[in-house]
Copies of this chain bind each other. A is one copy, B any other.
């Protein structure tokens, strides 16, 4: 891979003061049952469309994280984030409930880590508190990106299952307590290895994850063993295997540290094949699982590398391959 040393940012005072997660029923039947702040009993969430249910999850996550941090809207300077729907409407419509600055983001399933990076820059530029958020919904994504649910299309064994959930995190330049901090970040670049199979996104994203991880290690002079864990976003099981091979070729063995948010989300019996995908994977696992382990001292230094596939149905119909991107944050306590 080509390496340019100019993409890693350092932050001095970005405190992660609170996290909140809203998970779908299948997600709360998975490996992290009971970890979520709110687990839905059904994925309609009392709404008349799946899209409105997704929006309501965002509304709950944003309100939830602000209340959990003992803050009110007037304390919040900005909300940054996005989702997988066209024109990121779940995020945008949820944001209208708050008289707070809003920056809409889209980097597919890497959007949650993108939101942490943009939130960290805003906090470094003077905003006191910023809500960083992202999420996805199986039923809205399935009908927008693939087939009508009613069609009952058989799934390929290399597919993943779009996770239903929203995670929200408040980053702040003002914290009286010792909390986890976003200390460094590497903004990913777009990597395209010509993968055309939209059912095999793990393979399309693995080279990008390798690129960003290796760039971060070189930029900072760190090694995989400096970290307790390295969580990728939603490579799935197959994509994770490819990533381990690719990083090994670059001289970094991450097999002892690497986990994948998507691959870890469900039990095998839940038949998601390669595991979860979607912007919810890293948003849920970070807010519901990793943040708690950092606070309790189980981890002191972690990397979270959000992975995203940047195609649309239109580009696939027009014969284009799948570009991918991976953004990374280092979180320490």
Number of chain A interface residues as a range = 35 or more
Copies in the complex: 2
Contact with B along A63-103 (1 / 0, CB 8 A): 00000000001101110001001111100110110111111
Q: Which residue of B lies closest to A3 (CB)?
A: B99
A206 adjacent to chain B (CB < 8 Å): no
A312 to B52, CA, bound (A): 13
Tell me whether B103 and A88 are in contact (CB under 8 A). no
Max count, chain B CB within 10 A of own CB: residue among A9, A77, A95, A121: A121
How many Å from the CB of A233 to the closest CB on chain B?
Answer: 15
A123 to B314, CA, bound (A): 34
A77 to B188, CA, bound (A): 10
A59 adjacent to chain B (CB < 8 Å): no
A303 adjacent to chain B (CB < 8 Å): no
How many Å from the CB of A13 to the closest CB on chain B?
Answer: 12
Tell me whether B187 and A102 are in contact (CB under 8 A). yes
Contact for A49 among B104, B127, B318, CB less than 8 A: B318
Residues of A within 8 A of B (CB): 2, 4, 6-7, 9-11, 49, 51-52, 73-74, 76-78, 82, 85-89, 92-93, 95-96, 98-108, 114, 117-118, 120-122, 124-128, 186-192, 310-315, 318, 320, 323, 325, 327
15 additional A-B pairs beyond A86-B313, A105-B106, A121-B125, beta carbons within 8 Å, are: A7-B78, A7-B101, A9-B126, A51-B318, A77-B187, A86-B87, A87-B310, A89-B311, A92-B190, A92-B310, A96-B190, A101-B186, A101-B189, A103-B187, A124-B124
